[in-house]
Every structure is written in structure tokens, then in C-alpha cells.
Amino acid sequence: MAKQDGEAKEPKNPIPLEIQTIPNATSIIMDNDMIPKLYRLISGMDVLKKKATNPFFGSKYIDLNSLMEQIEEDLKREGLVIFAVPIESFHPGILRLQTVIMDEEGNRFAAIASMPLAKMDPQAWGSAVTYLRRYAIGSMLGMLAEADDDGNKATRPEETSEEKSLKASIVAEIDAIYAKDVSRGTLDEMLAKKGTQRTGVSLTGFQNILAILKKKYPDEVSEAKQD
């Protein structure tokens, strides 16, 4: 039976509730009709600007909001939308995120990525979602940023047992300061706003965070030490 004029068209390739059930950490699905659109999209994109500054490391970075703002017009030009949703994980403590770039006919470029959670609580989960969304979108679009120094973080020397112990002590002190007033949020929430999470912060980074908190809350720092 032919459809009447004005009826909404069904997507060419409707997306199932879960694109693909796989045990691997990553998976990619690409519809052929998406290839020329992605080629034009990626070819026309400028190098991204790092607009945010991390006060703890003195470095520039791209947060999720800035990332989406900078690619918004490029996506509109090709009639594309991009979204990401957490999906079922096969292992406890592992976040799996499905990121989809889709056109108005339902053609899509989809990828699934996973990462371990730093802590099993809502704050850590939310921080990890933000972190993984940012890197998944950047990877799928092959985006470059000004003076990208993420490789330096990835190749940082492994910490010694003494450094790990000192870091744990400093993190505990930081958590105690945040816990004194729930209106301040948490360490995980603060790091998420800076585009990172606990596993991405070095010993020096945590020392800098603690130094800033000591200046901001000098009285409560002494109370935290006594607890």
C-alpha cells in the first residue's frame, strides 16, 4: 500500500536498541552511504581550538561542550547528528559507550568503546561517560587539536610503590576536604569538568590540587588532618 503525501518516511536503516552485541572492547559499524558524507565532513573541519585551561596542570584542553560547539556547523552542513549512550557491559566496573553519527535517512557510523571505572559510584560513572564521549567523538572524526599533548600523559613512566602510596594519601586528604561540604561537589566531578578523571592525574597534579584547596579552605584542611 503506497504511503500518502505528508506521511513521515521511515529511516532507511533503523537503528536497533543495541547496535551490536560483542564481547570486544571496540567495534565499528559503517553504512556505505555514510562514507562520502564523512569524507566531506572530515576534510572540511579545521584544527580544533583548545579553549579551556586546566588550572592544576597549566595546560590547554578541549572540554566536551567546546568540542561540540566547534563541530556543530560542520555536522549541520552534511545533515548529520551525533549522540552517545551507555550500553550493557559484560564485566562489572567497565563502562561501554555506543557513539553514533547518523544522517536523516538512518545511515550511520557507529562505534562501541569501553573503559574501566575509577570508582563504583554515580559521580565516577558520570565522569567516565563525559571522558569517553569526548575521546570517542574525536577518534571517530579523526580530529586534531592544537599542540595536543595527550601522548605525553599516555607515555608517563609508571609510578613507584612509594609514589602510589603518597598519591593515595593525598587523594584521601582531598576527598576529606570535599566531604566537609556537599555543595562543593566531589573530586570526581571537578576532574570531569576539567576533562579528565583520577586515573589521568599524576602525583604532581594531585599535589597541585591539594595546594589549591589548602589555600581556599585553610581551616578545614587542619580539621581534615585531625579526623
Do 139 and 59 sit in the same domain of this protein? yes
Angle in degrees, CA 11, 13, 17, rounded to 5: 95
- Domain carrying residue 120: 27-150
**Are both 45 and 141 inside the same structural domain?**
yes
Residue 14 lies in a domain: no
Of 127, 150, 173, which marks where a domain is finished? 150
Residue 3 lies in a domain: no
Asked if residue 15 is part of any domain, the answer here is no
* Structural domain count, the chain: 2
Percent of all residues in the chain with a pLDDT value above 90, rounded to a whole number: 14
User: For residue 83, what pLDDT is reported?
Assistant: 92
Last residue of a domain, one of 115, 150, 185: 150
- Does a structural domain hold residue 18? no
Q: Looking at the structure, do residues 44 and 145 belong to the same domain, yes or no?
A: yes
Quote the percentage of the chain above a pLDDT of 70.
70
101 and 38: one domain? yes
* Same domain for 168 and 124: no
* pLDDT for the residue numbered 89: 81
Q: At residue 182, does pLDDT exceed 70?
A: yes
Residue range 18-29: mean pLDDT, rounded: 51
11: its cell numbers: 529511516
Q: Residue 8 class from Cβ within 10 Å (0-12 exposed, 13-18 middle, 19+ buried)?
A: exposed
Give phi and psi for 70, each to the nearest 5. Answer: -75, -20
Asked whether 108 and 83 are in contact (CB, 8 A), the reply is no
83 and 121 part of one domain? yes
Is residue 201 situated within a structural domain?
Answer: yes
Of 122, 147, 118, 150, which Cα lies nearest the Cα of 134? 150
Q: In this structure, are residues 97 and 2 in contact, taking their beta carbons and an 8 Å threshold?
A: no
Q: What is the dihedral of CA 118, 122, 127, 133, to 10 degrees?
A: 110
Confidence of residue 119 (pLDDT cuts 50, 70, 90): confident
In this predicted model, what pLDDT tens digit does every residue of 140-178 receive, in sequence order? 887 655 444 444 444 456 778 888 899 999 999 989 988
Query: Residues 4-17: what's their mean pLDDT?
Result: 47
**Do 222 and 113 have their domain in common?**
no
Tens digit of each residue's pLDDT (9 = 90 or more) over 46-66:
766 665 555 555 556 677 888
The verdict on 65 and 103 lying in the same domain is: yes
**Residue 4 lies inside a defined structural domain of this protein:** no
Q: What CATH code is carried by the domain that includes residue 36?
A: 3.30.160
**What is the per-residue pLDDT across 184-212, written as a single tens digit (0 to 9) for each?**
788 888 777 666 778 877 787 788 788 87
Whether residue 92 is found in the same domain as residue 45: yes
Q: Does residue 121 sit in the same domain as residue 166?
A: no
**Domain end (from 150, 184, 204):** 150
Specify whether 31 is located in the same domain as 142.
yes
Q: Does residue 49 sit in the same domain as residue 93?
A: yes
CA distances 186 to 127, 172, 196, Å, are 11, 12, 14
